[in-house]
Copies of this chain bind each other. A is one copy, B any other.
Amino acid sequence: MNAKPPYRPRMSQSGLEATHRILALDEQGAEREIHIAGERALTIYIDKVELLTLMTMGRRPEELVLGYLLNQGIIERLEQVRTIQVEWDVEAAAVVTDGSIEGWQERLGRKTVTTGCGQGTVFASMMDRFDAIQLASHRYTQSMIYGLLDSLARHNEIYRQAGAVHGCALCRGTEVIDFVEDVGRHNAVDTLAGRMLLDGLTGEELIFYTTGRLTSEMVIKVAQMGIPLLLSRSGLTQMGLEMAQRVGLTMIGRAKGKHFLVFNGQQAIEFDQRPEDRHPRAGRTHREEG
């Protein structure tokens, strides 16, 4: 079996430390050393043409750039990327392509600048491809979900110490394949998309976990990655739900400890490990839902 080794672009390894120590005054007026998350500007250039600037912790910038290009529909295949060179001195990521992705400026130029969480013109261009997505149909057991939440809790612990921001994970069954945190959860998603592309992972056997809310953009990206189950510690928005319904994505939110809520794809879940119901429904508040 003289298999050709899988293609890999040439990439720098310019990952940064996750956290920095600073001094702050606490409520006693006393100095305390605390850890804070790094945040750096990284401007992406494609064949020397400026694309945009991301704000990132910069831990895995090459995979972030790769996944960003994929999730935005700028590239479709790994072979289109020859090199990704990240230089923090100039806050730049230089991408050299094989010359096959001309026309991206015109396609992206249709709309303009956007900002922060939940504001995205990305949305419009993503929707073009969204309705073509076909997700695999699986059944999941409650005991698998609990096993996975246990595995994730260990990761969350590590990352919380390093200065918690937003975390996302690629999982298979109860195993956590990769866990990424960044100052924006979209960066974390994009980094994992880059990892999938590099390693040739297909989404259909995977589960996507996020600490963040299930907004439309999050649901669309995960569906684009071909992953049929999306699990979150947080809640969802109305449009996140609509998108999940439209594409048949199984969506579980408020997943923490023994609690969770199945927002979409209820038929995909086998309730094989119901916990003791310590909080009868009538007594529950809905304070933290949404």
Contact = CB atoms under 8 A, between A and B. Distances in A.
A117 interface: yes
A212 to B, nearest CB: 8
A116 B184 contact: yes
Contact of A238 (B36, B108, B164): B36
Given A123-B53, A238-B38, A217 B115 contact: yes
A164 B290 contact: yes
Interface string A217-243: 110000000000000000111111100
Q: How many copies does the complex hold?
A: 2
Contacts of A240: 39
Nearest to A277: B28
Contacts of A55: 118-120, 123, 215-217, 239
Interface string A139-175: 0001000000000000000001111111000000000
B27 A142 contact: yes
Q: Bin chain A's interface residue count.
A: 35 or more
Given A28-B274, A289-B35, A290-B36, A113 B118 contact: no
A4 interface: no
A138 interface: no
Given A55-B118, A164-B288, A266-B25, A281 B30 contact: yes
Interface stretch (A82-90, A94-102, A194-202, A257-265): A257-265
A24 interface: yes
- Is chain A's binding surface mostly helix, strand, loop or mixed? mixed
Contacts of A164: 235, 287-288, 290
A196 to B, nearest CB: 18
A234 to B, nearest CB: 9
A246 interface: no
A37 interface: yes
A117 B114 contact: no
A119 B290 contact: no
Nearest to A189: B116
A25 B262 CA distance: 5
A215 B124 contact: no
